[in-house]
Amino acid sequence: MNQTDSNRTLLILGSGFVGGNLSTIARRQGWDVHGVDSNEKQKTAGVTLHLLDITDAAALTSLMEEIHPSAVVDLAAIADIDRAERERDLAWAVNVEAARTMATWCARSSSACIYFSSDAVFAGTAKSYGEDDAPDPVNWYGKTKLEGERAVMAANPAAAIVRLSLVLGFPVAAVGNSFFAGLETKLKDNRAIPCPTDEIRTPVDAITLSECILEMLAARMSGVLHIGSTDSIDRFTLTRKVAERMGYPIDAIIAQEESTLPAGRARRHKNGIIRITKAQSVLHTPLRSVEDSIRRAFEERI
């Protein structure tokens, strides 16, 4: 597929925070965008929203047959790590089986497809991770994302897998799983916000990420690609930087070591440090530093 193809219909599974940003930028580039979600509040202006349970394979397949998109991006996930641990069957159904359904249809229809995965497929004990490093997830969320990758590639070897560490920015729709929006709510409520100092991530802003995804679709890229910033940062420092940018005092951001984290919290991988050298070599879209990613998320907010 290229920019001159007559069919430029994009179907996005999951119309939340990242989906809303991707939808908006895709529309600016001339795509006819359809979204799939179970929540009608996820409606983004100019996007045709289909209310659907993506774990219903027959219903999802029927919708794809009806729309016949030239590209599908699977953003839908049970991404709350603690929820995934509690609701394992649901996490598997969304993160693995729905992805398999999507990839199978795309293979049969010769449509481009991208599955969103995570640095949580790694143990987080190495200094950094490249695309070819061996996965070893430490929680159920990471396990489902790894199995989702495998299901997608088995069903459709031409698919692309994008692994992310953390996405920065604000939601476009009324609701969305945005770190920024959640933090702002807590700051407005004058809540103490505990943040781990030993969990390191390689974030990317939602705008840059969306541009990368659309470039990948246009080039019909396949295989695994890590997308993130050119440097990494721990969650405590990142949260303080964002709170300061929002104009709030940073005193509410409290450093927490692993021993003081809340009981019942699922195990996290520590070093979410993904190497992005491959992405820098195959993408024209420039990847940015953490500081510049934060700046762009605020100054170019959609």
pLDDT per residue as tens digits for the range 5-22: 468 999 999 989 999 999
Structure confidence at residue 164 (pLDDT) = 98
Measured at the CA of 292, the angle between CA 288 and CA 298, to 5 degrees, comes to 125
Query: Where is 101: in which H helix or E strand?
Result: helix 98-109
34 and 69 in contact (C-beta within 8 Å)? yes
Better pLDDT: 43 or 297: 297
Beta bridge partners of 225: 162
Say how far apart CA 95 and CA 13 lie, in whole Å: 11
Task: Give the least confident one: 56-65, 72-81, 234-243, 264-273.
Answer: 264-273
pLDDT-based confidence at 1, cuts 50/70/90?
Answer: very low
Task: Give the least confident one: 107-116, 124-133, 248-257.
Answer: 248-257
Could you tell me if residue 237 is inside a domain?
A: no
- Is the pLDDT at 2 greater than 50? The verdict is no
Structure confidence at residue 141 (pLDDT) = 98
Could you tell me if residue 264 is inside a domain?
A: no
Q: Which amino acid is at 234?
A: D
Could you tell me if residue 94 is inside a domain?
A: yes
- Is the pLDDT at 115 greater than 90? The verdict is yes
Could you tell me if residue 194 is inside a domain?
A: no
- Cα torsion 227, 212, 114, 171 to 10°: value is 90
Task: Give the least confident one: 58-62, 78-82, 173-177.
Answer: 173-177
Could you tell me if residue 178 is inside a domain?
A: no
Could you tell me if residue 146 is inside a domain?
A: yes
pLDDT-based confidence at 282, cuts 50/70/90?
Answer: very high
Structure confidence at residue 4 (pLDDT) = 40
Structure confidence at residue 260 (pLDDT) = 62
pLDDT, averaged across the chain: 94
pLDDT tens digits for 167-206?
A: 999 998 766 679 999 999 999 999 899 999 999 999 999 9
Our count of domains for the chain comes to 1
Q: pTM for the whole thing? A: 0.94
Structure confidence at residue 176 (pLDDT) = 67
pLDDT tens digits for 136-164?
A: 999 999 999 999 999 999 999 999 999 99
Q: What is the mean pLDDT of residues 122-133?
A: 98
Say how far apart CA 119 and CA 145 lie, in whole Å: 9
Could you tell me if residue 191 is inside a domain?
A: no
CATH (domain of 117): 3.40.50.720
Look up the domain containing 284 and give its range. Answer: 9-171+203-229+274-289
Pairing of strands 48-51, 71-74: unpaired
Could you tell me if residue 18 is inside a domain?
A: yes
For 224-281, the DSSP string reads EEE---SS-EEHHHHHHHHHHHTT--GGGEEEE-GGGSPTTPPP--SB--B--HHHHH
Say how far apart CA 233 and CA 171 lie, in whole Å: 22
